Each structure stands twice: as structure tokens, then as C-alpha cells.
Amino acid sequence: MLTDTNIAGLQTVYGGRTDNLPPFPSARVLIPTSHGVTCGTPQALKHSTRTPVPKVTLPFPQLRKLELTLAGYRGEKAFQAVEAQRMATYISKTLPKRKVKPIGYIDFHSYSQMVLYPYAYDCSVLPRDAEDIAEAAWVMAKAARQVHGRYFNVDSACEGDHFNNANVTTIPTHTYMSLDFGTEAIDDGGD
């Protein structure tokens, strides 16, 4: 993963500047998704048995730049991304002010054709009404399949989370930011 070619390619694409990121392709994300979320603070996750991953800082500036290209990069702090911040404000302040009761929330991502339900952080905690939520997920997957015959799988978002493994290229700070465009530069779709 950490090769000279990757770093060189990254510098070519972004002119050596990681703050010079390309505009967000609007077709890929239908709703500005937010990933800036603090792990473990939600009430329901208090009983989580998952061991928090210690924070690792990569020693070389070049490698730190490479962090931004990883799909698992979560930013430096919670709600670092403007999109995440705005979305959180909308949900926790604007909606209550307008006396709107939130019921459903859909987060659109590319890609894998899946419908995923909570929790993403830890499989050992089941959501309230887990059965109800999974049932609705299957209804949604079926509806999607009936349009063009594409199969959508249904799963808990925590399953097979290989970014949670404590390897050097995982940057386990506490948020997951939408920096997917970073991965486009070097990823062939296998990640």
C-alpha cells in the first residue's frame, strides 16, 4: 500500500497539496453525507464491549498525506467536516425548532449495493427495534431490486468492518470523514 508510486501519484493528482481536493461529484452522493461522529458517546453505545483503538500518528509527513487517500480516514476530530457539522446542526437544532419529529434517515454512499442498518461501530450492541429495522431494510432492498433487477444485500453495518483492525494504515481517530474522492486517485475499486 505505501509505495513510492502511490505517493508520487497522489502528488501528481493533487499537485502535492492535500487541501487542493477536487470538487465533490454530485452524482455519487445524493445527500451530503456526514461522517463526523464521536465513537462511544451515544447513550446506546455505552455498553459496547469493543476495545477502543488507540490513536496512531504516522511519523512522516508523506505518509500523513497518504492517510487522506485511505477510505478509512476519519479526520482529526469529530465533526471536522463541514458537511457533518451542518447535518448534525440540522438534525439536532433545526428540526426541533420547527417541531419536526425525525423518523427516517438514509445515508447514500457509493458503492456495493447494500442496505445497512445500525450499529456500525459494534456488533455486540443491538439497536432498539432491531427486528423492525431489519424488516424495513429488506423491504427497501426488495424495492430497489424490483426497479432494474440489481440485487441489494441487507446487513448490519458493523459486519466485516476490516478498517477496524489495528493496522498501521488505519488512522483510528474518532471520526469517519467523507474523503472518498481521495481514494479515487489510487484505488481500483477493490477497496
Scan residues 11-40 and list those touching other proteins (CB under 8 A).
Answer: 27-28, 30, 33-40
Chain centroid, CA 1 distance in Å:
20
Among 2, 100, 142, 166, binds other proteins (CB under 8 A): 142
Q: Smaller CB distance to other proteins: residue 65 or 121?
A: 121
The answer to whether the beta carbons of residues 37 and 84 sit under 8 Å apart is yes
- Residue 14, preceding bond cis, omega within 30 degrees? no
Q: Smaller CB distance to other proteins: residue 60 or 145?
A: 145
Q: Of 94-123, which residues contact other proteins (CB under 8 A)?
A: 101-122
Number of chain positions touching other proteins (CB under 8 A): 86
Q: Does 189 bind other proteins (CB under 8 A)?
A: yes
The answer to whether the beta carbons of residues 81 and 177 sit under 8 Å apart is yes
What is the grid cell recorded at 15?
Answer: 499537485
Q: Which segments within 132-173 are labelled E, that is strand?
A: 153-156
Among 10, 68, 87, 179, binds other proteins (CB under 8 A): 87
- Coil, strand or helix at 125: coil
Q: Does 180 bind other proteins (CB under 8 A)?
A: yes
Residue 31 Cβ vs other proteins, minimum distance, rounded to whole Å? 10
The answer to whether the beta carbons of residues 7 and 66 sit under 8 Å apart is yes
Q: Smaller CB distance to other proteins: residue 62 or 157?
A: 157
Residue appearing with cell numbers 428540526: 95
Q: Of 47-86, which residues contact other proteins (CB under 8 A)?
A: 50, 53, 71-72, 74, 84
Q: Of 146-165, which residues contact other proteins (CB under 8 A)?
A: 146-148, 150, 152, 155, 157-164
- Coil, strand or helix at 114: strand
- Coil, strand or helix at 115: strand
